[in-house]
Amino acid sequence: MDDKTEYPRHVAVIMDGNGRWARKRGLPRVQGHRAGVLALKEIVKYSRKIGLKYLTLYAFSTENWKRPELEIKNLMNLLMEYLRSELGELKSNNIKLNILGDVYQLQAVVQQELKKAVAETAHNDGMVLSVAINYGGRNEILRAVKNIAEDICTGNAGIKDIDQHFFENYLYTRGMPNPDLVIRPSGELRISNFLLWQIAYSEFWFSDCYWPDFTTEMFEKALKDYARRDRRYGGVDSVD
């Protein structure tokens, strides 16, 4: 495509609507999450195919702990299934896995699978796949503030050091560009505590379809729409 050169470098996706997809079909919620994993696999493959450099997926938020215990257990089991079944694909497709969030609150067996997948893909440089697990944007910012305060108190940093670049080095996304495009299916029009610092100037693309129905064609449409937008970052158009 002619506008591929204008494609975003970093796309973030809020994977939403699995439960409603299942309810609409009279299925248990876990079946919606399983269908969502299938959509996830296709989007990851397609992103790598078109040369996307960074793909970030919102999988489990800090607020999701409010869900029924059985659903949380099913979600964690699906996560481990995905890691075990797709690790070979990630490695063979030169995809580096990155985790955003406080993984230390997860079960030890989940932490172990995450650490293994991250370690075995650490040297890949084709695409960075970041998965946000037990992630909350406000928690991330508070964590950064606490760590900065600790470094100042121990003499490892000074107040005059603090600027935007300095602050970003304390975020989970350290070393990554901020998302150019945020995609949210399911008909919801909110951020849901996702990458609050990082998406200050991101473009947004919404869809009414639930995540399990989100196709590579829809993903491509979002990328095309993004390529036609004029990103001014608070400035003015060159023709104005």
Please state, in angstroms and as integers, the Cα–Cα distance from residue 206 to each residue in 46, 152, 190, 226, following that order.
Answer: 19, 41, 10, 12
The separation between CA 154 and the C-alpha centre of its own chain, rounded to angstroms, equals 33
For the chain, report the end-to-end CA distance as a whole number of angstroms. Answer: 28
Residue 34's contacts (CB-CB under 8 Å, 6 or more residues apart) are 78
How many Cα atoms sit within 13 Å of 33 on the Cβ side?
17
Q: Which residues have a catalytic role annotated?
A: 16, 64
Pairing of strands 127-135, 10-14: unpaired
